[in-house]
Amino acid sequence: MDPLAIRRIVVVGGGTAGWMAAAALSHMLTGVEIDLVESEAIGTVGVGEATIPHILYFNRLLGIDEAEFIRQTGATFKLGIEFVDWGRIGDRYFHPFGTYGQEMEGLHFHHFWYRQTRLGHALPLDRFSIGAQAAAAGRFQRPDQARPGSPLGTLNYAYQFDAGRYARFLRERAEARGVRRSEGRITTVRRAAETGHVEAVVLEDGRALGGDLFIDCSGFRGLLIDQTLAAGFEDWSHWLPCDRAVARACARVDAPMPYTRATAVAAGWRWRIPLQARTGNGFVYCSHYCDDEAALRSLDAALDGEPLSNPNVLRFKAGLRRKAWDRNVVALGLAAGFLEPLESTSIHLIQSGIARLLTNFPDRCFNQHDIDYYNRRTRIEYEQVRDFIILHYAATTRDDSSLWRHCRTMALPASLAERIAIFRENGRLYRHDNELFSETSWLAVLHGQGIAPKRQHPLAHQLPEQELDRRMAHIARAMDLTVERMPSHQDILDTIAGG
């Protein structure tokens, strides 16, 4: 074995981040001992139910059987997010996973759709999204990549699940692969005098857990990365002013829909996440404009079933650790940073942090270049997601409350301002560096919140008008037929439950 190899890893925290890290590292690494410490007295944040499609890769990497995962975590399928009252009160649009229509003549579909819109013949954009159509009809089917050209090939999906059950599910897998779990509160962190590296965490009862590499998954407190190493935090709350949430589950009243709903309200927005056995609800708000009691009243008034849990009030600040990796500590999850849950990205950011750590996996020399590279990539990823989330707040004509008046007039990050300006001009959407959100996502939100381009791609004019109409009608018909044949979401869940 490499004499410099990492031999002991300590994961601090047993929330979604801690158990995702422990499950993935124990699956990918051999010859490494892994300890995880968590404190039931401190508990976990207890939310985080909606995901994006990349979670399928994480589960596959770990060899997780999808049906078993769905049974164990009470999961439903998710085809996207329905946004209500964002651009204007009364508006409603769907951000689907997957793509719209199909590329033609080497150009993105939307250039042709905008041309047809200008000609006055276009069907609504959602008619060209199999995800949006299936969601509206309460239907679901897995994508079929084996049939090129079929609209099913353009579908993509994620899950909505019980976060606590997902952590327990991963815990079982991690422990089966040798991860040792310790219960207790860490009260002291020991550091090496010379390097400042963390050497051990010490629990209330005096037990010490030493390691070469520490993964800080201790949540917002950032026990190692912040309270010990003072890595610093970049505050983005001037762009994302919501800083509180109250969450509460309620009884299911209908068959679960295969999508999450995000409804904008005066002081923030509410989520509704349908799971198999219950519905997750939450209200994300800005404490300048709304107090906790008013937030809870507003959430309770919107519940569509009997409350099933006590309200869980959470406080947070949008932003990023200046260094997610410092010395021999890598922060994942809420310890690394937080962007509010509007586009369900936090669990994905944990997953991509784990992937990046594996790519740059250190030995005990802890090469600073690798650490810098990791931090640079982390920042780029968070900034790209941040811009996309800010777009939802900024692209609004709402002026019914102080929050929305602030958002519609706030100065934007230069990167976002440029992206909107380019789109407004000629509809071009550039995906930088294989960033998380694709052209489809940007288009869904820009169009859904009322931003339209002045012109479209010049080459979209090369297709004769009649031919354009013929192709668009053909695509819409194929989508309709496909959705009509899809089973209901509930039928699929019942089949999986029947095992």
Ligand X SMILES: Cc1cc2nc3c(=O)[nH]c(=O)nc-3n(C[C@H](O)[C@H](O)[C@H](O)COP(=O)(O)OP(=O)(O)OC[C@H]3O[C@@H](n4cnc5c(N)ncnc54)[C@H](O)[C@@H]3O)c2cc1C
Which residues does the annotation mark as catalytic? 78
Note whether 186 binds ligand X by CB under 6 A: yes
The answer to the question of residue 56 lying near ligand X (CB under 6 A) is no
Name the segment binding ligand X (CB under 6 A); options: 97-105, 150-158, 329-337, 357-365.
329-337
DSSP 155: -
Q: Is 219 in the site for ligand X (CB under 6 A)?
A: yes
Adjacency order of strands within the sheet including 198-203: 186-191, 198-203, 208-210
50 touching ligand X, by CB under 6 A: yes
79 binds ligand X (CB under 6 A): no
Residue from the set 29, 42, 61, 107 that interacts with ligand X by CB under 6 A:
42
Selected from 26, 44, 440, 449, the binder of ligand X by CB under 6 A is 44
Q: Does 51 bind ligand X (CB under 6 A)?
A: yes
Paired with 284 in beta bridges are: 245, 269
Sequence-ordered strand ranges (E) for 337-380: 337-338
Strands (E) in 211-256, as ranges, are 213-216, 233-235, 244-251
Cβ neighbours of residue 270 under 8 Å, at least 6 residues apart?
262, 263, 281, 282, 283, 284, 298, 299, 302
Of 9, 13, 35, 198, the one binding ligand X (CB under 6 A) is: 13
Phi, psi for residue 460 in degrees, rounded to 5:
-70, -15
**Is there binding between residue 143 and ligand X (CB under 6 A)?**
no
Could you write out the DSSP letters of every residue in 410-476? SPPPHHHHHHHHHHHHH-----GGG-SS-HHHHHHHHHHTT---SS--GGGGGS-HHHHHHHHHHHH
Give the SS3 label for residue 257: coil
298 binds ligand X, rule: CB under 6 A? no
Cβ nearer to ligand X, comparing 96 with 219: 219
Contact of 34 with 9, CB cutoff 8 Å: yes
What's the token pair of residue 52?
């994006």
By CB under 6 A, residue 202 contacts ligand X: no
Give the residue, chosen from 47, 231, 303, 446, that forms a contact with ligand X under the rule CB under 6 A: 47
Number of residues that bind ligand X (CB under 6 A): 38
Residue 218 CB, shortest distance to ligand X, in Å, is: 4
CB of 280 to ligand X, least distance (A): 8
Does position 346 interact with ligand X (CB under 6 A)? The reply is yes
223 lies in the binding site for ligand X (CB under 6 A): yes
Question: CB of 439: closest distance to ligand X in angstroms?
Answer: 22
Tokens of residue 80, six digits: 């996207």
180 binds ligand X (CB under 6 A): no
CB-nearer residue toward ligand X: 22 or 37: 37
**What residues contact 462, with CB distance under 8 A and at least 6 apart?**
105
Taking the C-alpha atoms of residue 237 and residue 265, their distance in angstroms, rounded to an integer, is 19
**With respect to ligand X, which residue has the nearer C-beta, 184 or 362?**
184
Of 58, 1, 50, 43, whose CA–CA distance to 280 is shortest? 50
By CB under 6 A, tell whether 216 contacts ligand X: no
For residue 340, give the amino acid letter.
E
C-beta closer to ligand X: residue 37 or 444 = 37
Q: Which of residues 407-466 bind ligand X (CB under 6 A)?
A: none
Stretch that binds ligand X, among 343-351, 369-377, 421-429, 444-452 (CB under 6 A): 343-351
The answer to the question of residue 282 lying near ligand X (CB under 6 A) is: yes
Residues at the interface with ligand X (CB under 6 A): 13-18, 37-39, 42-45, 47-51, 163, 185-186, 217-219, 221, 223, 245, 247, 282, 314, 316, 333-335, 341, 344, 346-347
